[in-house]
Amino acid sequence: MSEKHFVNEIMPETEKSPTKKWETILGKRYTELLAERKKLDRELKKYNFILYNNILVDKEIMPETVLDEIADEVKTQLEANSTFFQTLNSLGIEILKRDLTQQPNVGGKIIFDSEQVFGLNLQHHGPKIEFRGQYEPQQKEVHIGSPMPELRKQLVYIIRNGALPDSVYTLIHELIHFLHYKKNRFPSALLTEAQAYVEGYFHVGSKYSLRAIAETLQRNYGGIMKLSSADEVLSALEAISGLYAVGFSARDIADLVSRSWFDYELGKFTPIETVYQQEKEEKELGDLDTQAMRDLMYIRASNNRKKAQLAVYRAIANRYDVKKIAEQKKKDLRKAIAYPVYKLKTGETVPSFELRQKLIVPVDKKYPYTIGGKRSGIIFGYFIGDGNRFVRDEGEVYGFGRFEADGEIGHIDLAETPSEQKELLDDIKKYSGNIEKQDKFEFIGNCLREYTLQEENARKILKALVSKTEVVESFMLKLEDDLDFLDRLIKQINQATANVWSISNFTVYIKNLTHYRESVDLLLKDFDITIEELDSGFTEPYMRYCQALDKLKAKRNY
C-alpha cells in the first residue's frame, strides 16, 4: 500500500508492503467501500431528519405497536444488508430491544440509573456525568449511570447519525468487561478497557485515534500496570484493532484479552500481541498493510452506521405520509420548549442534550420556520466559544441567542451586549404565554437538578419564561422527578454519614451535595417566594435533605 493512509490515524509508518498482493486486494476493497459510501450519502440526502424525527418521537402518531414493527424491520434490514450487528452478535450482546437488562447470552445483573455511579459522580464531578458505568466483578453486576433508554430513544439516536445512545454504548463497554472476567478473575485492566474502547468504532463512531486512546489508558491505568510509556499501550491497541481488522471475531479477541498479561521481559502483552504478529507473518502483512486494513474496517463501520440510519428512514417512510404530518406538527412547536437538533458546518452533530440546550420556536415573521427548510428561534444552554464549534474538554459557558438553521446545518448568534440580551429576553416574555405549562414545569425541575441556576444567564432565561405563580405551581404538580432526586441525595448523605472517613474527595462531595440547596435558594430569591409557600409534598423531604446535609457537615467539622 502507499504510505498515504485512508483515515487520519496516528500510527508508525516504517515498513512498506512486502508484496503487491495486498496492495491490489486492499486497493480494490477501498474503492468499493468509498463508492458505497457515496451511494449511501446520496440516498441519505433524500430524507430530512427533522421531519422523520418529529414522527418518531410522537407517541400519538407512532404508538408502541408500530414502534415495535419498525424496530423489527430495522434489525431485519441490517442483518441482511450490513455487518452493523456483527461484533455484538459475536459477543452475544443484544440491542434494539425494550429491556436491555435482559442479556441471556452474556449473563450478570445489569442496573441502569445506578445509585453507585450516581454516588461516584457526586464524589468526583457533580451534575455532569463523567463516570458513565462500572463493572463490579465480585457481584457480577454492570452499573450504568443513566436510565435505560426506551426503544424509541434508541431509534432516535440511530436515525440522527447511525450511533447508539451513550447509555447503550456504556452497556456494551461494561458487558465486554463482564465477558473478560467470566474467563479470568484477574484480566489485564488495561486490555479489557482497550477492547471496550475499540468496540466504540463500530456503534458510536468514536473519532479518537489509537494513540489518543493509548494516552488515556496509560494515564488512567499506567500506574497500576507499571507501564513506562503510552507506546507500550499503543502496541496492545494495535494488536486488538489489528485482529478485528484481519477478521478475528470479537468473541475470539475477548478470549485472547482474558488470557493475556504483560510480560516485562518481552515488553509486551502475551499471547495477544504474539498471535497478532503470527497472523501478520502468515498472511505476509506489513505495518502499512495492517494499517490499511484498519482504515477499511473504519470505513466499513462508517458505512454500516449510514445503513442503520437509512433502515430507520425507510421503515418510517413505508408507513407514514411524512410531509403531511410535519405540517400538522408545526403548530405544536409554538407551544413547546424543544431540544434543538442541528449540525455544525463541519458536519458534526451538536450534542444539544449533553449541553442542556433548549429552543423556543415562535413561528412568526421575526422567527420564521419552514418544516425541513429554514428555521429560526431562540436558543439557550451551554455553548463553546461563539456556539458554532464543539471541542470536548473546552470551557462551556451558559448563554442564549438567535438560532438559524437551513436544513441540518445550524448557526448560533449569541447575545453578547445588554441590548441584544434585552431584546431576546423581551421576546421570550412575549411568547412565554404560548408555551405549555408542563414544558415550563419540566424546565424548572431540570434547572434545579442540573444546577444550571448557578449561571446568571440561566436565571435570566427562567425569569423571562415563567411567572412566580407557575414556579409555585410546579412544586405542586411536577413533583415526581424532584422527589426521586431528593430521595437519592438523602440516601447518599446517610451512607456518607455512616462512612464519612471513607470518602476520598470530601470537599468535592459536599460541594456537589449542596448544589441542590443552593439552586432552590436562588430560585426562591429570584421569584420572591418563601419556602412556606411551596407544597408540603416537596418541603417535607426537602427539609430532611437539608437536615441530613447539615448533620454530615457537622460530623466532619466542615
Per-residue pLDDT, averaged over 447-457, amounts to 91
- Closest Cα partner for 134 from 116, 152, 155? 116
Do the bridges between strand 261-263 and strand 141-144 make them parallel or antiparallel, or are there none, so unpaired?
Answer: unpaired
Per-residue pLDDT, averaged over 374-402, amounts to 83
420, three cell numbers: 441584544
State the pTM of this model. Answer: 0.80
Residue 291 buriedness (CB in 10 A; 0-12 / 13-18 / 19+): buried
Task: For 525-546, write each residue's pLDDT tens digit.
Answer: 999 999 999 988 899 999 999 9
- Determine contact, residues 371/324, Cβ cutoff 8 Å: no
Q: In terms of residues, how long is the chain? A: 558
- Determine contact, residues 124/505, Cβ cutoff 8 Å: yes
| pLDDT at 147 exceeding the cut of 50 | yes
| Per-residue model confidence (pLDDT) at position 9 | 36
- Determine contact, residues 49/250, Cβ cutoff 8 Å: no
CA-based end-to-end distance of the chain: 64
Residue 419: pLDDT band with limits 50, 70, 90: very high
**Higher pLDDT pick, 524 / 349:** 524
User: Per mean pLDDT, which range of 76-80, 267-271, 505-509 is the poorest?
Assistant: 505-509
Helix (H) or strand (E) holding 41: helix 20-44
What is the three-state SS of 490-556? HHHHHHHHHCHHHCCCHHHHHHHHHHHHHHHHHHHHHCCCCHHHCCHHHHHHHHHHHHHHHHHHHHC
In degrees rounded to 5, what are phi and psi of residue 285?
A: -100, 130
Task: For 482-530, write each residue's pLDDT tens digit.
Answer: 888 899 999 989 888 887 667 767 888 888 899 999 999 999 999 999 9
Do the bridges between strand 409-414 and strand 397-406 make them parallel or antiparallel, or are there none, so unpaired?
Answer: antiparallel
Helix (H) or strand (E) holding 300: helix 287-317
Got the DSSP string for 76-123?
Answer: HHHHHH--TTHHHHHHT---SSS-TT--TTT-SEEESS-HHHHHHHHH
Residues 6 or more apart whose CB falls under 8 angstroms from that of 474 comprise 440, 441, 444, 445, 466
Q: Residue 261's beta-bridge partner residues?
A: 270
Do the bridges between strand 337-338 and strand 358-360 make them parallel or antiparallel, or are there none, so unpaired?
Answer: antiparallel
What is the three-state SS of 278-298? HHHHHCCCCHHHHHHHHHHHH
d(CA 400, CA 377): 11
d(CA 542, CA 303): 50
What is the three-state SS of 11-29? CCCCCCCCCHHHHHHHHHH
Q: Residue 135's beta-bridge partner residues?
A: 142
Q: Sign of the C-alpha dihedral, residues 283, 289, 290, 292? A: negative
Do the bridges between strand 358-360 and strand 374-383 make them parallel or antiparallel, or are there none, so unpaired?
Answer: antiparallel
| pLDDT at 17 exceeding the cut of 70 | no
| pLDDT at 412 exceeding the cut of 50 | yes
Q: ∠ CA 319-320-326 to the nearest 5 degrees? A: 160
333, three cell numbers: 412547536
- Determine contact, residues 9/290, Cβ cutoff 8 Å: no
- Determine contact, residues 335/437, Cβ cutoff 8 Å: no
Per-residue pLDDT, averaged over 90-94, amounts to 93
d(CA 310, CA 401): 33
Question: CA separation (Å) from 523 to 113, 379, 451, 452?
Answer: 27, 21, 11, 11
Residue 216: pLDDT band with limits 50, 70, 90: confident
In the chain, what percentage of residues exceed pLDDT 90? 50
| Runs of H (alpha helix) within 437-505 | 437-449, 456-465, 468-477, 480-498
302 three-state secondary structure: helix
Residues 6 or more apart whose CB falls under 8 angstroms from that of 533 comprise 472
Residue 341: pLDDT band with limits 50, 70, 90: confident
Q: Residue 212's beta-bridge partner residues?
A: none
Task: For 221-238, write each residue's pLDDT tens digit.
Answer: 655 555 556 677 788 889
